[in-house]
Amino acid sequence: MNLPQLLDYLGNKKDFLQNITTWKTIPAQEAQTVSFPKSIPPKIIEVLKQDGISSLYTHQASAFKQIQAGNNVVIITPTASGKTLTYNLPILTSLLKNPEIRTLYLFPTKALAQDQVHELHHLVEKLGEPIICHTFDGDTPREVRRTIRSAGHIVVTNPDMLHQGILPHHILWIKLFENLKFIVIDEIHAYRGVFGSHIANVIRRLKRICNFYGSDPQFICSSATIANPEEIAEKITGSPVTVVDNNGAPTGEKHFLFYNPPVVNQELGLRNSVLKEVREIVKHFLPTGIQLIVFARSRLNVEILVTYLKESAKQLKISPNKIRGYRGGYLPNERRKIEQGLRNGDIQIVVSTNALELGIDIGQLDVSIMTGYPGSISSSWQQAGRAGRRQTTSVSLMVLSSAPLDQYLAEHPDYFFGKNPETANIDQNNLPILMSHLKCGAFELPFTSEEKFGTDATQQLLQYLKDERVLRETDGKYYWMQDVYPADEISLRNANPNNVVIVNTSDNNQIIGEVDLFSAPLLVHKDAIYIHESQQYQVDELDWEGKKAFVSETDSDYYTDAIAKTDLKVLDILEKREGKHHTFYGEVAVTTVATAFKKVKFFTHENVGMGKIYLPEMEMHSNSTWLEFPNMLFTDPYFEESVIGEGLRGIAYTMQNLIPLYIMCDRADISVIPMVRAPFSNMPTIYVYDKYPGGIGLSKKVYTILPTILQAVLEHIQTCSCEKGCPSCIGPPLESGIFGKDSAQRILKELL
């Protein structure tokens, strides 16, 4: 049975169809092509024709023209649209004309970098030119490193290696920095939040060093579809960019389905397990031999699904070896073997975290299945794009969970399939992040008394570091004066340089991971269950002073969920809007203390016990948007203080879950706190704050689009089929209260 026949079969299967809330067919599109520009060397054209490329897609030609004109570009086209050629073509053209120029390729992961180098090597070998292209990362042999530094025309690396292994040692890279012509930043949509804020500062340091050596490189960025590609590219590169989005790549017919599992508990609003539903759906595909990828939200879910599907394969007399998992924690050689197995057809089904979401070559898959909403529309289309690369019929199926975000999409499919509303956010001037990179920059090159590092406050910050005896000032220049190596102290994935390392006492005190300081009380408190690579560990001790959590291997049928008490104090109002409700944006101090934890049974999510947590309070300064509700809104006798509280809790719960639809962030990146009587104003208030020291711009984005978010919150609560609230709208009834749903709707209607 081929894929179109299977679709006909499923389309007539009642028990499958009754759970399909949306079945959208996206028609095939013909390629839009143009002839090769005359400035491309005939040698390159000949090689491309040998690979079956006889013309360029419109976006490839547009990008080539813009790059040849010396402009910085950001290319926005879907997965499998030939973005790689948009930068390889102008760079190879320039190298053939001037072999002295150098190029730096930046990819967000080592795996993607390795994959792209393979494609580049193929082109270079066919050209027969002495162009040296190599990956420079932690796995690069020492003898190869010397060659790359002295003679590498194209250096392929990742941001972490650029930050710690290249920029601090720029004197070893003089040939690269003196002749750097192009900087390619691939998958720029991946650089958002804390990671993106760090990357913007790494690029500032890179440009400083280029300027020191007399080069002025041109930026070529590529991205999946987001709402603000120009804004995010300009924030990261610090330079104006031109957007290229006239996609000319062909696509096959794609069927996109939303599958909403049946409700198993009407009162609690719970639907059947997503993992169980995916298992049943995949059973339809297994006997056909159709290749597919299943995306899971966590490493643990990957391992559970692989176990389920291998068991299904045995029942169907199919080799379990045709099903493999793919996630972080697998050794590089193992991952390469899985990728090769997918390309040559030895593997039929791969279950992956978002590790395979980016453009790694895994061959021509027919079906992609998402186990729950991936967290952003951009990621959803990236995962859907892993199927259908042969321009034939393909299927993408999203199995939705009971979570409010998933249920919102079930109710509003037009929102998903319409214009992508998500915006990526970074705050390159976040104070803790900026200070970290000022230290790295001073280690690399002394700062002058007139120099500006992205902000007008640079000189005040340098003076502060001098007063703290981190820098010394001599002849109008600030020099690094400490023994430590600053880049080693800074993780690009975290805003706070302090972290807690996790030590496995069951295995000779091996360090198995780390968590940031602010998350440690919630994740690695004493008696917590910490899960790493599907292995469970119990936290035996959290050494708060030594920043170490000591864990031992265990086999538990429950996980732990910490409960925290949060107090918030307004420090400064930066912006405000007045109306039926007052909206503010400003700086806040957040004090959090973990007080207890719940033991939650796997799969059933039953609460099977509680425990106390004894740890000190944590204080963090961040940014927040908050809504104050004037007392005039609550003149109706219905609005007793307890009823107002239940309504605010319901609104806050739904906001927490829906905000990620509008700004590219994880639900854990923000926190929404309701207060019936906020100490700052003595009025009912809802605060939305960034859960990172100094803030990373998320709450500011919420401030600008708050009316849209509130309207979505109201619509979602109204359309939920439950009577008094459930986990799919305002939260479980026992937590939201019997008046929560009604009160939340009344408050929002008064506002809107």
pTM higher than 0.85: no
- Pair 199, 370: CB distance under 8 Å: no
Residue 340: per-residue pLDDT: 87
**What confidence score (pLDDT) does residue 605 get?**
60
The pLDDT value given to residue 177 = 97
Query: Would you state the pLDDT for residue 484?
Result: 83
- Residue 695's closest CA among 425, 427, 437? 427
What own/partner pairs with CB < 8 Å and gap ≥ 24 does 263-266 have?
266/722
Q: What pLDDT, in 10s, does the model give residues 642-672? A: 999 999 999 999 999 999 888 888 888 899 9
Q: What is the rounded CA–CA span in Å between residue 293 and residue 455?
A: 45
Structure-block tokens of residue 193: 């939040």
Which residue from 164, 216, 240 is spatially nearest to 440, judged by alpha carbons? 164
Query: If phi over 0 gives left and psi between -120 and 50 gives alpha, with beta otherwise, what is residue 289?
Result: left
- Please state the length of the chain: 752
Give the pLDDT score at 390.
60
Q: What single-letter DSSP state applies at residue 328? A: T
pLDDT at residue number 280:
94
Which long-range contacts does 542-550 make (Cβ < 8 Å, 24+ apart)? 542/500, 542/615, 544/615, 544/616, 547/498, 547/499, 547/500, 547/501, 547/517, 548/500, 548/501, 548/502, 548/503, 549/500, 549/501, 549/502, 549/503, 549/515, 549/520, 549/524, 550/503, 550/505
Structure confidence at residue 356 (pLDDT): 81
- Rg (alpha carbons) of the chain, rounded to whole number: 27
How far is residue 272's CA from residue 605's CA, in Å, rounded to a whole number? 12
435 contact partners, CB below 8 Å, separation of at least 6:
461, 465
Rounded to whole angstroms, the Cα distance separating 46 from 152 reads 25
Q: Helices then strands (H, E): number in the chain?
A: 24, 32
Measured CA distances, 163 to 492, 498, 507, 610, 655 (Å)? 8, 18, 31, 43, 36
What would the two tokens of residue 109 be? 């992961």
Phi-psi region of 603 (alpha: psi -120 to 50; beta: other; left: phi over 0): left
Q: Which residues have CB under 8 Å from 733's CB, separation 6+? A: 267, 268, 724, 725, 726, 740
User: Six-digit token pair at 343?
Assistant: 């390309």
- What are the tokens at 50? 């040998």
Of all helices (H) and strands (E), which one includes residue 218? strand 218-223
Q: Quick one: pLDDT at residue 496? A: 62
Instruction: Collect all residues with Cβ–Cβ distance below 8 Å to 7 and sequence separation of at least 6.
Output: 255, 393, 395
Instruction: Write out residues in the chain with pLDDT < 50, as ranges.
Output: none
- Report the C-alpha gap between 69 and 85 in whole angstroms: 17
How many Cβ atoms sit within 10 Å of the Cβ of residue 202?
A: 25
Nearest CA to 369 out of 355, 343, 387 is that of 387
| Token pair 């996109």: residue | 256
* pLDDT reported for residue 359: 67
| pLDDT tens-digit series, residues 272-311 | 989 999 999 999 999 999 999 999 988 778 888 998 999 9
- Domains, the chain, ordered by start: 3-26+251-402 (3.40.50.300), 33-244 (3.40.50.300), 433-443+451-489 (no CATH), 495-555 (no CATH), 563-751 (3.30.1360)
Give pLDDT, residue 494: 65
